[in-house]
Structure 1
Amino acid sequence: MPQTPPAPDETTQVRLAAEAHRYEILVEGTVAGFTEFRDHGSRRVFFHTVVDDAFAGRGLASILVREALEHVRAGGMRLVAVCPYVAKYLTKHDGYRDITDEATDEVRAWLAAELDA
């Protein structure tokens, strides 16, 4: 049975930082981690997720990724998980299969070029 990540509480917030191409998780106003993406047409390609060591062990990465994926769904987009953490999350939470596309070699090459630009 898939595990349910903890819910955000009054001290935890996930926000889209569009100018930085990432979703951030804040704890009491401090950025504790983020998941980075680039948009490729109607697909949001996630490629890197990190939570600061000072905030480790609280389930923040799960909260962050779940909220980011819900935002993708609400926006009518599809998602691609190049990021190992996001890919692992998707194996444990199959409720996103309907909006998930494979991380193909073409997508990986596009992402590499996009990040080098």
Structure 2
Amino acid sequence: MTRPATEPTVERRDDRHRYEILVEGERAGLTAFRDRGEQRVFYHTEIGDAFAGRGLAAQLVGHALADVRAQGLRIVPVCPYVAKYLTKHGEFADITDPVTPDVLSWLRNGDQA
């Protein structure tokens, strides 16, 4: 008898400025962010090759954005995957801010606001 696979879990890792998705305890991917005042700026998302094709990126980003809402923050989707996710999930439109040159400069320079 085979044991059913456990559902992936998502954890916010404030110490590493990212959310991680775990599959049976192994990190399968992450979405990285930096906080800028009341904005959570997402700038990179990746899923490991061994975990590709399972819909994990969507689960990860969906959980992360729901967490942003629960914390009363706003989303800035610099990461192309997060931006694409938001085009398909209008329920986050009310807490999404545009990517501006000011945000990109802040992110590039590593400024802390």
Q: Give the TM-score normalised by the residue count of structure 1.
A: 0.89
- 2 CA distance for matches of 1:91 and 1:11? 26
Amino acid at match of 2:84: K
Amino acid at match of 2:78: V
- 1 CA distance for matches of 2:42 and 2:93? 15
1:13-36 Cα offsets, whole Å, 9 max, x none, are 000011100000000000000000
1:57-93 Cα offsets, whole Å, 9 max, x none, are 0000000000000000000000100000000000111
Unaligned 5+ residue runs, structure 1? 1-8
- 1 CA distance for matches of 2:83 and 2:101? 15
Indicate the residue corresponding to 1:4 in structure 2. none
Which of the residues 78, 101, 108 maps onto 1:105?
A: 101
Ranges of 4+ aligned residues in structure 1 off by more than 4 Å = none
Alignment of 1:77-92 (within 5 A): 77-92=73-88
Identity %: 57
Q: 1:112, CA displacement in angstroms?
A: 0.5
Unaligned 5+ residue runs, structure 2? none
Which of the residues 1, 10, 14 maps onto 1:14?
A: 10
Q: Does 1:37 align with 2:63?
A: no
Amino acid at match of 1:86: V
Q: Which has the larger radius of gyration?
A: 2
Aligned length: 107
